[in-house]
Structure 1
Amino acid sequence: MKQILVALAVAVALFSCSSHAENAAAIESAKKATIDSMNNVNAIKKEVVDSMNALKSHRTHSRETAGTQYNNDGTPAVANSEATAPAPAKKKGWKSWSHTAKGAVVGAGAGAVTGAIVNKDRVKGAAIGTLIGAGVGAGTGAIVDHSKKKKAARQ
C-alpha cells in the first residue's frame, strides 16, 4: 500500500512540475507500462485456463481408468446413504475478488481522481488516470496473487 501511495505521489509531482512535452513523454511511458501490465494479466489468465484444462483432462482420464462411479458434478458417488460433510461456504462480495481485480478497481478510482485533479482538462485527465491506475493496480494485484500462490504452494 505504501508503494502505491509513493508511486501516486511521484506521478502527481511529475505531472504538476513538468512541461507539456515532458507530460507527453510521461503519458506515453505510463501507457506502455499499462499495456505491459495488461499483457501480464492476460498471460496469467492463460496460465490459469491451461492449468484448469489440464486438471479437467486429468480427472477425465482418472475416471476412465479407476472404475469409480461419479455424480454429474464430478464428485465421487457414495455407496452408503450417510450424509457427507457440507462444502465450505463460498466468499461473497468484495472478499471473493482476486487481488488483481481489487487492484484494478482501486487503481482506476485513484487514477481517475488524481488525473482529474492534475490535468486542466478534467475529463481527459480522469480518463488517462483511470487507464493508468487500473493497469498499475491490476499489475500490483497480480504480483500479490502470484506471491500468495507461491507461499501456499510452499506450505
Structure 2
Amino acid sequence: MKNLALTLSVLIGLIITSCKNTDAMGVVNDEKQITIDSMKVVAEKQRIIDSMKVEATKAATQKEMIYVNQNGNSSTTTTATKRKGWSGAAKGAVIGAGVGAATGAIVSKKKGQGAIIGGLAGAGVGAGTGAILDDKKK
C-alpha cells in the first residue's frame, strides 16, 4: 500500500511538471514570456513618448507664419504668440461685481449707493474665490 501511494504521488508530480511549456533544453518558457511582456510594455511607453514629441513639434511649427512680399523674393518668419485667457481671479471679480451690484441695488433703499457697495463687496469676494481656485489648479 505504501509503495502504491508513493508511486501514485510520483506519477502525479511527473504529470504536473510535464504539463509546463518547456523548450528543447527543458527550461520553462514562462520566464521568457515575462521578459517579452516587459519589453512590450517598455516599447509601448516609448511609442507614446515619441508621439507626444511629434505633436509638440507640430504645435511649434503651426505657430510660425511666413509672410512673402509681392515680388516673392524675400520672406520673413514670425511666431504668433498664444493669448492668455482671463485668470480665475479676474473672472471672479467681474462676476462678483455684477452680482453684488445687482443685489445691492435690489436690497438697498438708496439704489445707487447699494449698487456701488454691493459691487465692491462682490468684486472682492469674487477675486478672492477666483484666486483660491487658481491656486488649486496649479
Common fold, TM-score beyond 0.5? Answer: no
Q: TM-score range by the shorter chain?
A: 0.3 to 0.5
Higher RCO structure (Cα 8 Å, ≥6 apart): 1
State the TM-score, normalized to the length of structure 1.
0.37
